[in-house]
């Protein structure tokens, strides 16, 4: 399936399930891994995770499309389109969309190793980080003590 076919599919689902046309762009995004899809409030476009389609097929992706179309139609009609809004929850249940998408296997999620550790100088609490952070900007969440940055020794097997 390509973006053109996805566009037609989203337009069909919109008319069948919502009784309203989808007048913007729908496309696959191969970088989406932790979410099934996205709705953009500025452009009203929708992106769907290619990996969800590849891994779980049409049935699961149809539920994700319905979820994104709930955001789309509620936003355009100036009703509660956010996850916490009652309008959104009600419409999602009515059309049979999914609240959450299924998790992708670890091989597709590209988990990075922890490369840094922040250590509290007062209580010894440790905070693992993937990115380097400035310890002066933060305090220990446990005792409010000062933090010290420690780079972890990662051995690359080449």
Of the candidates 11, 54, 62, 68, the residue annotated as catalytic is 68
CB atoms within 10 A of CB 29: 16
12 catalytically annotated: no
**In this structure, are residues 28 and 47 in contact, taking their beta carbons and an 8 Å threshold?**
yes
CB atoms within 10 A of CB 63: 22
Torsion of CA 76, 72, 93, 63, to 10 degrees: 160
What is the residue whose two structure tokens read 């980080």?
129
**In this structure, are residues 74 and 91 in contact, taking their beta carbons and an 8 Å threshold?**
yes
Kindly calculate the radius of gyration of the chain based on its CA atoms and give it in whole angstroms: 21
Q: How far apart are CA 45 and CA 25, in angstroms?
A: 5
Q: How far apart are CA 150 and CA 141, in angstroms?
A: 17
Query: Which residues have a catalytic role annotated?
Result: 68
């Amino acid at each position: 399936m390509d973006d053109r076919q996805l566009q037609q599919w989203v337009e069909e689902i919109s008319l069948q399930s919502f009784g309203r046309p989808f007048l913007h762009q729908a496309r696959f995004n191969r970088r989406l891994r932790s979410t099934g899809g996205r709705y953009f409030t500025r452009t009203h476009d929708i992106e769907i995770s290619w990996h969800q389609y590849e891994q779980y097929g049409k049935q699961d992706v149809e539920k994700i499309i319905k979820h994104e179309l709930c955001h789309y139609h509620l936003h355009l009609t100036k009703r509660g389109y956010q996850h916490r809004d009652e309008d959104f929850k009600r419409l999602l249940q009515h059309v049979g969309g999914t609240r959450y998408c299924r998790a992708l296997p670890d091989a597709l999620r590209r988990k990075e190793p922890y490369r840094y550790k922040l250590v509290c100088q007062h209580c010894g609490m440790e905070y693992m980080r993937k990115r380097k952070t400035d310890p002066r900007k933060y305090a220990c969440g446990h005792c409010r003590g000062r933090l010290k940055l420690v780079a972890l020794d990662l051995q690359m097997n080449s």
